[in-house]
Amino acid sequence: MFRNREVRRFAVLFAAVAVTAAVIGFLIRPAAGILSLLSSAVFGAAFYAFTRARYQKIAEVSEQIDLVLHHADRIFIGGSDEGELSILQSEVTKMTLRLREQNDALKQEKAHLADSLADIAHQLRTPLTSVNLVLSLLANQPDAGERKALLREAEELLTQMDWLLTSLLKLSRLDAGIVVFQSERVDVASLVDAALRPLQIPMELHDVSLRVDAPEGIEILGDAGWLSEALRNILKNCMESAGDHGKIEVVCEDNPLYAGIVIRDSGAGFEREELPRLFDRFYRGKGTNAAGCGIGLALCKTIITRQGGTVTAGNHPQGGAVFSIRFPK
C-alpha cells in the first residue's frame, strides 16, 4: 500500500500536521496536546483501515483479471458498496463476460476450421488418388480407345477438383464480407437459362431429360451472377442425384407474396435424418454419390439468404428430391 506515491505523500503530510498540532496543544495545555495526539491516532488508524480495505478490494480485482488473462474458466468478483470501486468491478465483470464469450466463439471457430481443413484435405485427396491411378493405367494401356476413356475420366476428376477449389474460394469471400451483391431486377427465365447453360453437355452425356416451365415476366431482386451460381449448384446436385436417364423439372412460380423456383429430380431423394443438415458445409448424406463434396448446397444457401431469399429441400410425394427457392416481394 505504501508503495503508492500518493499514499506516501498523504502519510508524511498527515504525520507533519499531527506532530505540529500536538506540539501546539502541549504549548497551550498538556491536556490539549494529549487530546490532539489521541485524535490524530484515531483518525490515522481509521484512514489506514479504510485505505487497506480499499487496496485489498483492488488487489482482488487485479487477481481476477490475471485469472482471466491466464484462461480461467470461472471468476468471482465480490460486490462493493463504494462508488468508484463498485463501478470498476461492474466494468471488469462486463469485460470478463465479453472476453469469455469471445474466447468460446474463437474455440468454436478453431474447431470448425480444423474440421473444415480435414474435410478439404479429404475431398482433394480422393480425386488426386483417382487421377494417379488413372495416369498409371494410362501409361500401361496400349489400346487407343481405352486411353481415350481414361483421359476423359482424368479430365472429369480434374474438373471436379477445380470446381471444389473455386467453390471454397467463393465461400471464403462471402464469409470475409468482401462480396458486394448488386441489387437489380432479374428475369427468372433468363436466370434459369444462364444456370443451365454450363450443364447442358453433362446432361446430354448422361441422358438426363429436362423440363423447364419459366413464364416470361417473373422478376426477383438480386445479383444475377451470384443467383445463377446458386441455382446452378442445385441443378448440379439434382443432375448427380438423378443419374443416367434421370429427369429434372424446373418450375417458376409467381404470386402476390413471393416469386420462386421449384426444382425436382427423379433420384432417390433424402433420408429423413439428412434433411436438417443438407446445407451444412462438407456434409455428405448417405445418398450422395462420390462426386458430391458438401460445398455446393452450402454455397447456394449463403448466396440466397444473403440476398433476402430462402431455400429449402425435401422429398417430393411422388419420389425424388425437391428444392424450393423463394424471394419475398
> In this predicted model, which residue has the larger pLDDT, 280 or 286?
280
More confident residue, 98 or 185: 185
264 or 16, greater pLDDT: 264
- CATH architecture of the domain formed by 185-328: 2-Layer Sandwich (3.30)
pLDDT in tens, 197-244: 989 988 998 999 999 999 988 999 999 999 999 999 999 989 988 989
**Residue 315 above 90 pLDDT?**
yes
Of 151 and 258, more confident: 258
Q: Are 127 and 160 in contact (CB under 8 A)?
A: yes
The larger pLDDT score, comparing residue 104 to residue 294, is at: 104
Which is more confident, 246 or 68? 246
- Between 176 and 229, the more confident residue is 229
pLDDT > 50? residue 288: no
What whole-number distance in Å separates Cα of residue 66 and Cα of residue 69? 5
pLDDT level of residue 249 (50, 70, 90 thresholds): very high
CATH topology of domain 101-176: Helix Hairpins (1.10.287)
Nearest to 228 by CA among 303, 162, 118: 303
Which own/partner pairs from 64-67 qualify as long-range (CB within 8 Å, at least 24 positions apart)?
A: 64/92, 64/96, 65/92, 65/96
| DSSP alpha helix (H) spans, the chain | 5-28, 30-69, 83-139, 144-176, 188-196, 200-205, 224-242, 296-306
Residue corresponding to grid cell 498540532:
21
| Range scoring the smallest mean pLDDT among 65-74, 290-299, 301-310 | 65-74
The reported pLDDT for the residue numbered 64 is 67
* pLDDT tens readout for residues 43-55: 878 877 777 777 7
* Model pLDDT, residue 119: 67
Q: 288 with 302: CB under 8 angstroms? A: no
Higher pLDDT, 227 or 105: 227
Q: What confidence tier does 1 reach under pLDDT thresholds 50, 70, 90?
A: low
pLDDT at residue 60 greater than cutoff 90: no
Residue 289 banded pLDDT, cuts 50, 70, 90: very low
pLDDT of residue 147: 79
pTM over 0.75: no
| 89 confidence band (pLDDT: 50, 70, 90) | low
